[in-house]
């Protein structure tokens, strides 16, 4: 939610880098430069030979960690980002756009204590309460029953008191379908998939009979109902259909912790409970609700020398879910834009137009940061020449769309023609494309007629393995490709800044 605009201006410190030397020898030329251009060559040389991408990312992903909107982790990461820009002689500021529910994660431990000891792989959902004072709580388990209707559910509800409730579908196998397809006979693989699907549908029906459903919102309503009945906690599993991978979203309860338990461990707990083997677990979970706190985007800029009131923008959301480190969603887009700004500052310190970068917050809650920026900065949006956004994983940029802007399409095609084939070889240019949907931040600009373009990277099992999962971590990133993407973005921004034509109709 947005309540007010607070601009925290942070002034640039002394230049950390010398001005570029135009006559320098920048090493072996890449294949495919179609025009001789010293700025482009310099960007290439810096991007390839002295890339800072993995070094910056290691601090951001590992040490600062995930960047949940309105968390102290996000605040610390934003302060770091502003400082990095300032150390490069780039003006940067954190710009307030409203408030959000503040929350801080602490450690979580979940152990099976009866009928045997086993430490379970478990993650507290974002915004979930912890156990009272973070102390361990022991309780038996109960499975959400299959009741006839919501009246029968209400009659059952007192049994949830003093127990951990298992509310998710127990996967019959945490072996992904493609493994079954690879190793089983076709008949066995088919029958497993049919059983999985039927059981999943039956579980959805179970949720519906109780008066809820399988959507996140309806499950959260169920969790609050169980909390109201005195459940000690709620155990869930949101398996992402790959080895060891769960999606970790949020909870809306006030007292009862909501935990994602790995597919294997959730299945274990469920089978023990279903077979009357008396499972008891002990949970110690720490977290802190911080009330409504201010939230910020980080914006940095290199002022234009000829047309300072015309803008070319780099864009990537900075916030993440916090089951992993937010490495590929959207640490990679973040590092791409950050590194591209470094290359531009060194190779193109006096751009013709103003170069702006937006590191948005609140994307995961509904593009909140970028849409607030669009709302609060009509003058920038009105004279925006082009915006390049990246938000999907780690691979090389493989798709670019002109978002339905027919005039822009010609410009983008011209830019791509000037970028070395080493960088652009795999890009499918979608002309005229269609306006960006609601998936990520360039949509905030496109919906008000500003030319925002999405740079789509290769798949790299993003949807299944890293997107919003507990495995979205530093090690998943392909640094060669991030280096390549940062160089591409810097070149596109340079060409758009210098363009004698405009992307605007
Ligand atoms: Zn994202």
* 347-373: pLDDT as tens digits: 999 999 999 999 999 999 999 999 999
Measure the CA–CA gap between 457 and 399, rounded to whole angstroms. Answer: 7
Q: How far is the CA of 324 from the centre of ligand 1 (A)?
A: 13
The pLDDT score that the predictor gives to residue 503 is 67
How many angstroms does the Cα of residue 362 sit away from the middle of ligand 1?
A: 10
Task: Say how far apart CA 478 and CA 229 lie, in whole Å.
Answer: 47
* Averaged pLDDT for residues 331-357: 98
At residue 438, the pLDDT reads 64
Q: For residues 43 and 405, give the distance between their C-alpha atoms in angstroms, rounded to a whole number.
A: 27
Share of residues in the chain with pLDDT > 70 (%)? 92
CB-based burial of residue 149 (10 Å sphere; 0-12 exposed, 13-18 middle, 19+ buried)? exposed
pLDDT digits (tens, 9 = 90+) for 14-64: 333 333 333 344 444 556 677 789 999 999 999 999 999 999 999 999 999
| Cα 330 to ligand 1 centre (Å) | 5
Rounded CA gap, 201 and 190, in Å? 17
Share of the chain above pLDDT 90, in %: 82
Q: How sure is the predictor about 440, in pLDDT bands with cuts at 50, 70 and 90?
A: confident
CA angle, 36 then 357 then 99, to 5°: 170
Q: Tell the residue number behind the tokens 């801080």, with chain if given.
A: 104
Report which secondary-structure segment, H or E, holds 345.
helix 332-347
Cα dihedral 95, 96, 100, 106, rounded to 10, equals 50
State the distance from the centre of ligand 1 to the C-alpha of 392, rounded, in angstroms: 6
pTM of the predicted structure, to 2 decimals: 0.92
292: CB partners within 8 A, 6+ apart: 99, 100, 101, 102
pLDDT value at 502 more than 80: no
Closest CA to 127 of 6, 245, 216: 216
Mean of per-residue pLDDT scores for the chain: 91
Task: With cut-offs at 50, 70 and 90, classify the pLDDT of residue 402.
Answer: confident
CA of 44 to the centre of ligand 1 (A): 27
The structure tokens 């002689």 sit at: 89
What's phi and psi for 226, nearest 5 deg?
-65, -40
Residue 6 has pLDDT above 60, yes or no: no
Ion ligand 1, residues whose Cβ is below 5 A away: 329-330, 391
Quick one: pLDDT at residue 34?
A: 77
Cα(472) to centroid of ligand 1, in Å?
12
H or E segment to which residue 208 belongs = helix 186-209
Tokens 């409730």 appear where?
A: 165
The one-character DSSP state at 48 is: H
390, two tokens: 């990246």
If you measure from the C-alpha of residue 241 to the centroid of ligand 1, how many angstroms do you get, rounded to a whole number? 19
3-state secondary structure of 19: coil
Residue 228 DSSP SS3 = helix
Confidence of residue 403 (pLDDT cuts 50, 70, 90): confident
pLDDT at residue 405, as a whole number: 84
Angle value at C-alpha 106, between 324 and 394, nearest 5 degrees:
10
Backbone dihedral angles phi then psi of residue 204, each to the nearest 5 degrees: -60, -40
- Measured between alpha carbons, how far is residue 54 from residues 41, 62, 339 in Å? 22, 11, 10
H or E element: which one contains 429? strand 428-430
pLDDT value at position 30? Answer: 58
Structural tokens at position 110:
């979940």
Mean pLDDT value across residues 410-427: 88
With beta carbons less than 8 A apart as the criterion, state whether 260 and 122 touch.
yes
Beta bridge partners of 118: 112
| Ligand 1 centroid to residue 321 C-alpha, Å | 9
């Amino acid at each position: 939610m947005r309540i007010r605009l607070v601009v925290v201006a942070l002034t640039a410190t002394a230049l950390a880098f010398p001005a570029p030397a135009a006559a320098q020898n920048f090493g072996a030329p890449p294949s495919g430069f179609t025009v001789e251009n010293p700025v482009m060559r310099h960007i290439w040389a810096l991007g390839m030979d002295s890339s800072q991408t993995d070094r910056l990312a290691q601090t951001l992903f590992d040490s600062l960690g995930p960047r949940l909107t309105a968390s102290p982790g996000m605040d610390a990461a934003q302060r770091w980002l502003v400082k990095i820009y300032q150390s490069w002689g780039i003006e940067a500021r954190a710009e307030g756009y409203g408030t959000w529910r503040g929350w801080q994660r602490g450690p979580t431990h979940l152990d099976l204590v009866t009928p045997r000891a086993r430490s379970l792989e478990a993650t507290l959902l974002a915004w979930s309460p912890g156990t009272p004072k973070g102390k361990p709580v022991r309780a038996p388990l109960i499975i959400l029953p299959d009741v006839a209707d919501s009246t029968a559910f209400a009659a059952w509800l007192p049994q949830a008191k003093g127990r951990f409730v298992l509310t998710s579908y127990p996967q019959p196998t945490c072996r992904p379908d493609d493994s079954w397809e690879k190793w089983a006979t076709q008949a066995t693989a088919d029958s497993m998939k049919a059983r999985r699907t039927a059981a999943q549908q039956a579980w959805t029906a179970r949720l519906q009979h109780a008066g809820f459903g399988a959507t996140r919102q309806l499950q959260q309503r169920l969790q609050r109902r169980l909390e109201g009945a005195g459940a000690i906690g709620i155990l869930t599993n949101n398996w992402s259909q790959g080895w060891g991978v769960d999606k970790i979203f949020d909870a809306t309860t006030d007292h009862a912790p909501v935990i994602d338990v790995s597919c294997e461990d959730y299945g274990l707990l469920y089978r023990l409970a279903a077979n009357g083997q008396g499972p008891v677990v002990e949970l110690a979970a720490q977290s802190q609700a911080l009330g409504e706190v201010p939230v910020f985007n980080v914006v940095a800029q290199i002022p234009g020398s000829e047309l300072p009131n015309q803008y070319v923008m780099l864009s990537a959301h900075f916030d993440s879910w916090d089951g992993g480190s937010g490495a590929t969603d959207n640490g990679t887009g973040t590092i791409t834009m950050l590194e591209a700004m470094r290359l531009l500052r060194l190779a193109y310190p006096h751009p013709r137009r103003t170069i702006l970068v937006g590191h948005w917050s609140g994307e995961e809650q509904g593009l909140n940061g970028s849409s607030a920026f669009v709302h609060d900065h009509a003058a920038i949006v009105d004279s925006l020449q082009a915006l390049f956004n990246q938000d999907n994983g780690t691979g090389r940029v493989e798709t670019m769309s002109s978002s339905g802007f027919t005039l822009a399409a010609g410009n983008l095609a011209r830019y791509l023609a000037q970028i070395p084939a080493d960088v652009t070889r795999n890009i499918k240019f979608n002309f005229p494309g269609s306006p960006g949907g609601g998936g990520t931040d360039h949509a905030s600009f496109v919906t008000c007629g500003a030319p925002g373009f999405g740079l789509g990277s290769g798949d790299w099992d993003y949807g299944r393995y890293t997107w919003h999962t507990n495995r979205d971590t530093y090690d998943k990133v392909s640094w060669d490709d991030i280096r390549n993407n940062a160089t591409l973005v810097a070149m596109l921004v340079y060409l758009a800044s210098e363009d004698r034509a405009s992307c605007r109709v």
